[in-house]
Structure 1
């Protein structure tokens, strides 16, 4: 059987189960109009049924031949008018209080969910993201906005001290020149370390100890960035005084900043 939307005149195929469900209230799949399907039943044009034969009673003296079961026959096809509305195959049941949500609202909701997920990812993995020199400024700005703390750098291993040498200063008396070569052996940028220098006499007694920052032992061009790239060697140069010219030994250590 068929029903027709009273609003847009679209014809739908309807089942008995749909008529029984929710008192026959349905929603038009084309214009979303809600109507009673059982009150707008529609007969397709060009279809007719032959009248049924009269029933046979017991009082009949003879058994009358049984007429064949009437079947639906279709008239000769006729040209449809240009204004006829096509049949739509499905009809949705109406849910009380149901409203169509605009597409723009769904798109905005999905966008907000994506932003929330990206924010959670950046918050919980901020230290790992900050190890990238390109992403660190953006992560720092994000932490300033949400109020989270960002560690200086993720340090898996200290820089490797490759070589150290000490010699009298070529131009100044009672002074020493210390050279050191170190390299970042990790696969991520690392902060420049502090360099601790200890001087001892011939018996091993400590004479002096001092800690130097990167700006003290590196050229200004080398410290333009606040991190050491991986597998790049840096040459450190320190000029220190020799206490009473008694320094006979030294020790250089790299410390976290």
Structure 2
């Protein structure tokens, strides 16, 4: 499926899982705007050239869901818990409990009491519940430590990664960025004379993050070479060299997102006829 940022008109390819955490809202990886992706959601892109995707009305009545594939059974009433007080008729109750605060001569026809075995069972159940709670807390703490130690592997895992992202969205936390330069794919590139620097070149590249998780902006190495493949110039660009907004650098390149990168280099001369990109 595809959607479009209404501010910068950037078109993104999205999966259904990425629309669930914020009820269809996404943050544009190019301009940082937050928009409702459902407004321009499309299964296929229209034939080029196009400027805007078709916008859908979002104020209509909900459609009726008619084809059911599962319906849970009605739960049966739970049995009464053990250990409740028992009411039994007793003959001569005054004589039986005369030493326990019951006055002789009083007329009792029923006696309510809790058997000793029920009281002992209740105490044991409380002790068992306390031990289970302590053990559960210890196991959860150990699991949290292991998860933090292996956080990069868990975030990059195709099974646990989306679940962690959903949990973090609900809890209001942020997952750490995991560097995976091998998941970055160069879609398009171009080089032209710098519009304001006489001996400069302006190199643009469109890069797509094939990973399902966000990763930091990479270190980009650009190599200019001649027709024989001989290297004429090389420069390594740190993220702050081509992403000026610190907030965008902090968020990183979102999973499945595409971004445009612009680099300024010095013109090595007419012999430079080829250039290559690499990510670290």
TM-score, structure 1 as length reference: 0.51
State whether residues 161 and 254 of structure 1, in contact with CA within 8 Å, keep that contact through their aligned partners in structure 2. Answer: no
- SS of alignment partner, residue 234 of structure 2: strand
Out of 62, 81, 87, which is 2:107 matched to? 81
State whether residues 159 and 184 of structure 1, in contact with CA within 8 Å, keep that contact through their aligned partners in structure 2. Answer: yes
* Structure whose residues are more often strand by fraction: 1
Please state how far the C-alpha of 1:114 moved relative to its aligned partner.
2.6
- SS of alignment partner, residue 250 of structure 2: coil
Please state how far the C-alpha of 1:87 moved relative to its aligned partner.
7.2
How big is each residue's C-alpha offset from its partner over 1:63-117, in whole Å with a ceiling of 9 and x where there is no partner?
xxxxxxxxxxxxxxxxx923763577x6649x9xxxx5694x6555444323222
- 1:228 corresponds to 2:253: yes
* Structure whose residues are more often helix by fraction: 2
Q: Which runs of 5+ in 2 are unaligned?
A: 1-82, 85-89, 93-105
Matches within 5 A, 1:12-161: 45=91, 81-82=107-108, 85-86=111-112, 92=117, 100=123, 103=126, 108-126=130-148, 127=151, 128=154, 134=168, 153=178, 155=180, 157-161=182-186
How big is each residue's C-alpha offset from its partner over 1:19-48, in whole Å with a ceiling of 9 and x where there is no partner?
xxxxxxxxxx99xxxxxxxxxxxxx748xx
Please state how far the C-alpha of 1:226 moved relative to its aligned partner.
4.1
Whole-Å separation in 1 of the counterparts to 2:174 and 2:138: 15
Whole-Å separation in 1 of the counterparts to 2:191 and 2:139: 55
Whole-Å separation in 2 of the counterparts to 1:221 and 1:154: 18
Matched residue, 1:77? none
- SS of alignment partner, residue 171 of structure 1: coil
- SS of alignment partner, residue 250 of structure 1: strand
State whether residues 122 and 129 of structure 1, in contact with CA within 8 Å, keep that contact through their aligned partners in structure 2. Answer: no
Matched residue, 1:241? 266
| 1:207–1:156 CA distance, 2 compared to 1 (3 A) | closer
- SS of alignment partner, residue 85 of structure 1: strand
Q: State how many pairs are aligned.
A: 167
Whole-Å separation in 2 of the counterparts to 1:250 and 1:156: 19
Please state how far the C-alpha of 1:205 moved relative to its aligned partner.
1.1
- SS of alignment partner, residue 111 of structure 2: coil
Please state how far the C-alpha of 1:202 moved relative to its aligned partner.
3.0
Name the stretch that deviates more: 162-171 or 127-136.
127-136
Please state how far the C-alpha of 1:196 moved relative to its aligned partner.
0.8
State whether residues 223 and 277 of structure 2, in contact with CA within 8 Å, keep that contact through their aligned partners in structure 1. Answer: yes
TM-score, structure 2 as length reference: 0.47
* 4+ runs deviating over 3 angstroms: 83-88, 90-93, 100-103, 105-111, 129-140, 154-157
Bigger radius of gyration:
1
